[in-house]
Amino acid sequence: MLTPRIRRRGERGQVLIMALAFIAFFGLMTTAVLQFADTVELQQAQSQATTTLHANAEGGMLLAARAAQARGSCAVGSAATVTMTNTDTAAYATTACNPGSTANLLADQCAVCILGQAGNTQPLTVNGSLTAQGPIAVDGSVTPNGGTITSTVLSSSGPPGFIGCSPNCGQNPSPATDFTPATSGLTAPASPDDVDFPGVTAPANCPNTYTGTAGGSIPPGCYSSITVDCSTAPNGVCSYAMGQGTFVLEGPFSIGSASGGDTSVSVAAPNSVLLAFVEYQGNAGSLLIRSDGSLNLDGGPLSGEDDVALYVDPSDTFGPLDALRVAGGSLSVSGTVDAPAASVNVFGGSDTAPRGTLEIGPAALDPDSGRLIVGSLTVGQFGTVTVTAAPPNPGYCWVYQDNVTVTTGAGTVAGQVAVESDCSREASVGIISINYGS
């Protein structure tokens, strides 16, 4: 965030008093913003010439501040002009949107956290779409595959959010990846500092297996494998329910049939669960959801599991396989997905075949959950990833840097102002830097 400062030739204290008086007088910036004589009366501590000069610049300053409050998000190139009945004009033009030192703080409170893996300098590849309510942070660069990556602050239809990469997001040759907003470089890798990994470890051995072909109930426990489909169910449609508790997988959890077709396999956890994938003697837990399958962990995390509903042990080694694969099916999680070293792949077969979807949102009992923390993420051409997390705490601020000008019968004066808007999720505005120019 920019350091608050007041800059001008002469007495800084007098300028601050004058500026505060001007702001207090005009309040919400009515059409009287350039009622010049009233401003001068409020600033008798200054010489008339200095007061006149500064009042003009402050007219443009308050126009910029008011525009920031009304618009919310910051966009370089934004500009506006207002003309008074006496033909005086005030104008502003936004020259920079700078999160400043807040960038790494935002990255540490990321909604989507791509933490990278050894030797993987571009851990994020998006050919489909990645949308997050909250900051997106990547420890590495992004492979430009023509997809869309969007971050917002308060809602999917709200103002742009924050996308940052350490050290930067790389080049964007054609076909370029579409970033909204533009990316920022991070001076340090992202580190989600407010998430404590559960650190689940498997027992000495998990001999249990579960195989279902027509629906049923899956009890919590430790499994070497779970395989479910609807191959013997009427019309190829069936559902499974996961009981409340911890599910530890030392091997594959496979949902759906390889043939796909018109079958439909639904696996749901209406109660709180922790689904944990761990490694045991070279065998690693993994998840595969085929095009006819779905997994809904909508009951939220178990109490005491650090808001995590799906966990992949960071010590797991998967070789060429992805720890989590959504291959045309769907995965929905209420709570945080904590897979800090795992690779995640979400994709679909074609434009007409089922599209792979991953949806993550906060749990009902914990609004601060609902994050995606992975080692690498690949979103295929027909894949969609949507993450809805709480905005960063203590808040998110837009910092505008604006050039302001005011033209009156006495001529044109110019200055610069830095405006801070929408801090801590409140529709407020503050002026944090004034340069009155010459």
Residue range 110-153, pLDDT digits in tens: 999 999 987 788 999 999 999 999 889 999 999 878 899 999 87
Tell me: the pLDDT tens digits for 26-42? 332 332 333 333 333 33
Q: How far apart are CA 152 and CA 155, in angstroms?
A: 6
The residue from 348, 368, 388 where one domain ends is 368
**What pLDDT score was predicted for residue 432?**
61
Q: Tokens for 240?
A: 């499974």
Residue where the block lists tokens 């995965």: 331
Looking at the fold, whether 240 and 183 belong to one and the same domain comes out as no
**What pLDDT score was predicted for residue 396?**
59
Looking at the fold, whether 219 and 160 belong to one and the same domain comes out as no
Which among 433, 366, 359, 328 is positioned nearest to 98, based on CA atoms? 433
**What pLDDT score was predicted for residue 419?**
76
Dihedral sign for Cα atoms in the order 188, 192, 198, 200? negative
Tell me: the pLDDT tens digits for 278-311? 887 777 889 999 999 999 999 988 877 678 999 9
Residue where the block lists tokens 């999917």: 156
Tell me: the pLDDT tens digits for 367-401? 778 999 999 999 998 899 999 987 776 555 667 78
Q: Tokens for 165?
A: 């990469």
Looking at the fold, whether 285 and 359 belong to one and the same domain comes out as yes
Does 276 score more than 80 pLDDT?
yes
Dihedral sign for Cα atoms in the order 381, 383, 384, 385? negative
Looking at the fold, whether 40 and 76 belong to one and the same domain comes out as yes
Task: Quote the mean pLDDT of the chain.
Answer: 75
Looking at the fold, whether 278 and 231 belong to one and the same domain comes out as yes
Measure CA 130 to chain center.
Answer: 10
Which among 338, 331, 343, 253 is positioned nearest to 301, based on CA atoms? 338
Looking at the fold, whether 108 and 54 belong to one and the same domain comes out as no
The three-state secondary structure class of 53 is helix
- Find the angle CA(277)-CA(282)-CA(283) to the nearest 5 degrees: 40
What is the four-CA torsion angle of 221, 239, 327, 151, rounded to 10 degrees?
-90
Does 22 score more than 70 pLDDT?
no
**What pLDDT score was predicted for residue 212?**
95
Residue 244 near residue 220, CB atoms below 8 Å: yes
**What pLDDT score was predicted for residue 70?**
63
The residue from 320, 349, 368 where one domain ends is 368
> In 346-410, which residue ranges form alpha helices assigned H by DSSP?
none
Looking at the fold, whether 19 and 88 belong to one and the same domain comes out as yes
Task: Provide the residue type at 227 as one letter.
Answer: T
Q: How far apart are CA 93 and CA 91, in angstroms?
A: 7
Region 73-80: what's the mean pLDDT?
Answer: 75
Tell me the pairing of strands 163-165 and 184-185.
parallel
Using 50, 70 and 90 to split pLDDT, how confident is the model at 211?
very high
Looking at the fold, whether 230 and 181 belong to one and the same domain comes out as no
User: How many domains would you assign to the chain?
Assistant: 3
Looking at the fold, whether 341 and 215 belong to one and the same domain comes out as yes
Measure CA 165 to chain center.
Answer: 13
Region 404-410: what's the mean pLDDT?
Answer: 79
Q: How far apart are CA 92 and CA 114, in angstroms?
A: 38
Strand order in the sheet with 429-435: 5-7, 429-435, 411-421, 398-408, 89-97, 79-83
Does 258 score more than 90 pLDDT?
no
Using 50, 70 and 90 to split pLDDT, how confident is the model at 355?
confident
Helix crossing, 12-26 with 48-71: angle to 10°? 50
Task: Provide the residue type at 112 as one letter.
Answer: V
Does 3 score more than 60 pLDDT?
no
From residue 138, alpha-carbon distances to 38, 110, 246, 372, 375 in Å are: 52, 9, 30, 12, 9
Q: Tokens for 196?
A: 């404590």
Which among 174, 172, 128 is positioned nearest to 150, based on CA atoms? 128
From residue 219, alpha-carbon distances to 155, 223, 243, 253 in Å are: 36, 10, 5, 14
Looking at the fold, whether 14 and 126 belong to one and the same domain comes out as no
Beta pairing partners, 425: none
**What pLDDT score was predicted for residue 357?**
94
Does 160 score more than 70 pLDDT?
no
Does 337 score more than 90 pLDDT?
yes
What is the four-CA torsion angle of 369, 275, 124, 139, rounded to 10 degrees?
60
Looking at the fold, whether 52 and 183 belong to one and the same domain comes out as no
Report DSSP state, residue 260. -
Q: Tokens for 37?
A: 């004589």
Q: Which residues of 355-383 are buried (b: 16+ CB within 10 A; e: fewer)?
A: bbbbbbbbbeebeebbbbbbbbbbbbbbb
Looking at the fold, whether 140 and 177 belong to one and the same domain comes out as yes
Residue with the larger pLDDT of the pair 271 and 99:
271
Residue with the larger pLDDT of the pair 18 and 154:
154
Determine what percent of the chain is predicted with pLDDT higher than 70.
67
Domain that holds residue 335: 197-368
The three-state secondary structure class of 335 is coil
Residue 289 near residue 326, CB atoms below 8 Å: yes
